[in-house]
Structure 1
Amino acid sequence: MFFKILVLVSLLAVSAYAQVTSFVYNGFTMGELSLYGMAWVTPDGLLTMGYDLLRKVGHAFHPEPVQFKNSPNGSVFSFSTTFIFAIRPQYKRLGGHGIVFMVTPQRGFPGFLPSQYLGMFDSINNGNATNHVLGVEFDTVQDYEFADINDNHVGIDLNGLVSVKSTPAGYYADGGKFNDLNLKSGKPMQVWVDYDGMEKLISVTLAPIKMQKPNTPLLSLTYDLASIFNENMYVGFSSSTGLLTNTHYVLGWSLGVNAKAQELALSQLPKLPQVGKKDTSKVLTIGLPWVVLFLISILISSVIYVMRRKQKFAEVLEDWEREYGPHRFKYKDLYIATKGFREQELLGTGGFGRVYRGILPTSNIEIAVKRVSHESRQGMREFVAEIISIGRLRHRNIVSLLGYCRRKGELLLVYDYMPNGSLDRYLYNQPTVTLNWRQRFRVIKGVASGLLYLHEGWEQVTCGRRPIQNRDAEDTILVDWVFSCWDRGAILEARDPKLGAEFVEEEMELVLKLGLMCSHPEPLMRPSIRQILHYLEGDIPTPELSSIGGRLTVGHHGGCDDLARSPSSMENAFQQSYSVVESLLSGGR
């Protein structure tokens, strides 16, 4: 008896020096609580923990620690707390996991998991004495791992999720009759948790909202919390979701240490969201049609944009062109390469088109693209065949033709870009002896318009012979042979015998003479592309050629200087490129 009196006096003395701590939340405002995970505060002050997200955790703590002891080995002060909560499951009869009131040494746990762990522990630290956690759980799932008694229970947890004591949810009315409460009914309920520091008694009481606190607690446990509590602890709530979800609400909360928790002002508490018709009905009936209309308009605009873009880059592709597939470029790639054929990329204008500089987006190869208009399909197949044959030529004096593209009345020719070249140096095409004279003459005009240009090759389109041929153990230079034919007044003998009589004498003679004029080793001494084109089109008279002492004299109309050239002086120029011409400019016989 004397010992009990001594303990009572000691506790009274400690209490006299203990700090009184209390707070009350009649609804919440953003920033008042320390929130984590799913926990958030609605604009009208409702603390919401958990919604339709699977396997998530929510924490809500009073921001400041609360003193529960005067010293590490001291006794725990008496305290009480009350709060009003509600649990609404996603599906009426299938509840998710519940909510826990807890006292912990820190706001963030070293390890916690959702689902059955209620956001408090994990499989490693569950049940450890070093946790220093008191929890009062209101659980709506029966988990056999933690020996839950049912799926609608209240339990007192110490350092783990196996409740030290638990009981079905309900309350005792006057007269001692027990009444069940369905925790997942969605209706608000009030909880009182009290700890008597002298009796070491934990009591938990539950009742519907607006009902006075029952005289008989739902659950009581005699336990000294001195081994659980540190001097300063944090108080708050934890909740979690699993495969099924609950939405947990806390409407108000108060706590007192060494004092009774203040009564909550029910009239000041926020309202729970209405069950049934949602406020979003107007959004569905008015806003949704506008959203659908907007999406449809976006879809239509997108289709129009794609169709216009497809039309913009549409190409002409016939069945016979498939055999030339590797040499055909996409118009879109050429459009991107030349930056839309803008004026800043224009290299110059010559013949029947304009030439643009570009860089292929797929390979970063620098190219020159010539745009040539073509109004008729007649001869296009033969023309493309000539272009493909040109693409096989490789020579230091030749700008390589890489391929072509056809689109909406125009032909685009793609060359290797020669930064030091000029339009007058545009390539010559390899002869194809299977063409008749009309086709050959048309190709020659194409050559003069700037497709391809190699001056030694004029006689090779018309004569059907190699630039250098070996006859009787001697090399015969094609240009010298054509010159000798002309010098004795029989230039037509230099024609390709395979043509037979299928040619126009005036045109053949003109081409052969132009070949001699264009065979000067210095390009500046040769007639320009523009002059050659005028000759071929008949815009200016045929040039006058004469031979004085074995030297070729050319008289140009229009005030051009005469050009002198002897056949023997051509030999050195041809001999320097003999090996290349022999291997690359093969054709004729």
Structure 2
Amino acid sequence: MFIKQLLTIFFFFFSVLSQFLKSSSQSLSFTYNGFRPPLTDISLQGIAAVTPNGLLKLTNATSRKTAHVFYTKPVRFKDSPNGNVSSFSTTFVFAINPRLQMLSGLGMAFVVAPKASLPYADANQYMGLFNITNNGNDTNHVFAVELDTIPNLEFNDMDDNHVRIDVNSLKSINSSRAGYWDERGQFKNLTLISSKRMQLWIDYDGLSHKIDVTMAPINVDKPGKPLVSTVKDLSSVLLQDMFVGFSSSTSLHISSDHFVLGWSFQVKGKAPPLALSELPKLPRFGPTKIQRFYKNAMPLIALLLISVLFIILLVFLVRFIVRRRRKFAEEIEDWETEFSKIRLKFKDLYYATKGFKEKGLLGSGGFGRVYKGVMPKTKKKIAVKRVSNQSRQGLKEFVSEIVSIGRMSHRNLVPLLGYCRRKNELLLVYDYMPNGSLDKYLHNNPEVTLGWKQRFKVIKGVASALFFLHEEWEQVVIHRDIKASNVLLDAELNGRLGDFGLARLCGHGSDPLTTRVAGTWGYLAPDHIRTGRATTTTDVFAFGVLLLEVACGRRP
């Protein structure tokens, strides 16, 4: 019985001792004063490489690539899976050399990750740490300190030269412009892409959960005041065993060389100091061919390109203005001044009809084409008739008669709103009739037909308009083209007589001096065809044909 109790006590102390030894064995510490082969415990991934003289080079000139360097042995940050993160400390000497002067790549970061690789991390702005999907996820279990040299609004970066602390996301928990506090308490700025060697210290206190990040130029002792300091318990971020290393990436066009000259790390203690005199030397950063090209030739090329582009743009601008003026050019002669109030600008009509496109075509005939439009300023709906191929002979009299007719006001006439004359065409602007012309309701199996009451209403309206033209106005107006397509229906289906393009004026008791047959076959009176004279009776004859067309629904 005594021996059994003795064995139990022995095994208990042996278990406690083994746990203590195991815990003590995890107080990991390593130091690299340069990275000379053989590198048995260093893993190079992506475009990371080691130079012949022992420099750890994270990036090169390739585009959109990631670079990772990890210490391959796991680091035990917790004594138990659910325990608190132990204190740890690291320091490293780095240098960032931009391939183009004052234009840097993306920067680099010290990283603590759950694996000795980050296979799903993206390049560009994600710096080989995260991707668009997992950035910000608590399941990342990633702690990083970035040396950021590109401002990114997506991650709320302060500028293109800062140090920041990241936890599972590229949106930092704290950051500061790169620099250090000297012995007199004055802040000294440092430029990360200056190609100069600098040293960075990262310290985490497991009791107070304080994270301090300190930096200084090479050969300057560690400042007493940290650059960035924040309180964050990393126990929920870091797992029991993690891996430490560096991460960087390249963008599409601009890149930098990111070097690590020396590195030390310690759990449960301060990182061992680096032997700065033993660190490998940086390569000579002289201007490359491309840098010399950008510095010397680019200003001349840029000036030449800007001059050429300016001349090209000026030519295009002048050409555009000239073509625009030609496009909207109008002819205004002295005799048109009396019609200035009713004359409209071709530019307004062009934009009102959206360029006289087929989509807005209401109808066409031998005397012109009619387009629907909306005036830009008043938003009034209009119908624009383009009368083409008009000879200049008699144009003044034609416009005069059209404008005179436009002064008429009758409920069964389509009012003329104005006109425009341009080159060899005349544009007449009428009030828009939403229900279109009468022939649409009489022929070709219309979807909507008019009842007898509606037809009588239309015919009565046309008769009223014709009586007004022949008897009631100050002059006699002979329409000369009365037909179903020239009878338009307004919103209430009232018949309105329109299209006075062939109309002629004369005094009461006289006939106009016309010798040419004008109108539409089928509506022409026999005496008009024989003599060419147009009178009020020829209009009445055409109206009679219209009556038969409305009654039987057949074309004349």
Higher gyration radius (CA): 1
State TM-score, norm by structure 1: 0.44
State TM-score, norm by structure 2: 0.46
